[in-house]
Amino acid sequence: MRVRNRKRIMVTGGAGFLGSHLCERLLADGHDVLCVDNFYSGTKDNVVHLLANPHFELMRHDVTFPLYVEVDEIYNLACPASPIHYQRDPVQTTKTSVHGAINVLGLAKRTKARIFQASTSEVYGDPEVHPQDESYWGRVNPVGIRSCYDEGKRCAETLFFDYHRQHKVDIRVARIFNTYGPRMHPNDGRVVSNFIVQALRGEDITLFGDGSQTRSFCYVDDLIEAFVRFMDLDPGVTGPVNLGNPGEFTIRELAERVLALVGGRSRLVMRPLPQDDPRQRQPDITLARQLLDWEPRVPLEQGLERTVAHFRKVLAS
């Protein structure tokens, strides 16, 4: 017998960092979860503890190919999100964003499923407006080394809104800002995991540029809470909605906080700033506060402690 209000929910990219936490949350809420991943950047290790749950199913599949299943809701998280991963095969990255969006939107159209798109703050590029709100159209280089991700995600947003306008698909588009926490890939090149792994190994901590560029860091549990609240809203609330922590820190400040937590003798070492790396990144979450009655609750210090504890176990195993 089905639990009242139990839904069949598909999470693409479900074995990734964010996807695995989302699968956990949806199972805890009493739903049937189909986790779809091609394991390009995700890993079975992230969801192995869920395999014994009879309401969880894991499927190896690439979203650039159509998928024929019956679902009530779709969370589309499929796409490598770190520069190291998405620049390794930029053509495939663009195809994952664009062809993947077409395929999951086609599925949502057929099944009349509500569908969530994990977009990104990268749609704002290297912004001229600070902080960034949803009305800002961005400043993106269309031919740079980050364009496969930035423009792929921008095109995916276009597809979502056109499917909504043309086919009445019930969409939710979230623009995700820097997020961190357990199960980040230790070699994904993102700043939090980079700093923690380097500090735990006693290596020099690499700062790109002079470390004065800023980022805002949201702990993963806070972000997943926002996902679920967004999907639970009544039809017609499409977004885009910024999701992230508006607390702003320089990269140097982050490095110093990680060093204080980990200890050791690591030094800060400067390297040239990568092409098109944004100088500032801070979300305006006014809309998320109004629509979702949500804002991040986990302070950076507490979130870093949990993330350092996770990486200590990973590096010791």
Residues known to be catalytic: 149
Phi-psi region of 198 (alpha: psi -120 to 50; beta: other; left: phi over 0): alpha
User: What distance in Å separates the CA atoms of residue 141 and residue 209, rounded to the nearest whole number?
Assistant: 19
Q: Yes or no: say if 282 and 248 are a contact pair by the CB < 8 Å rule.
A: yes
C-alpha 176 chain-centroid distance: 6
What does the H/E/C string look like for 34-70?
EEEECCCCCCHHHCHHHCCCCCEEEEECCCCCCCCCC
Q: Which residues pair with 271 in a beta bridge?
A: 208
User: What distance in Å separates the CA atoms of residue 97 and residue 40, rounded to the nearest whole number?
Assistant: 14
User: What distance in Å separates the CA atoms of residue 79 and residue 316, rounded to the nearest whole number?
Assistant: 29
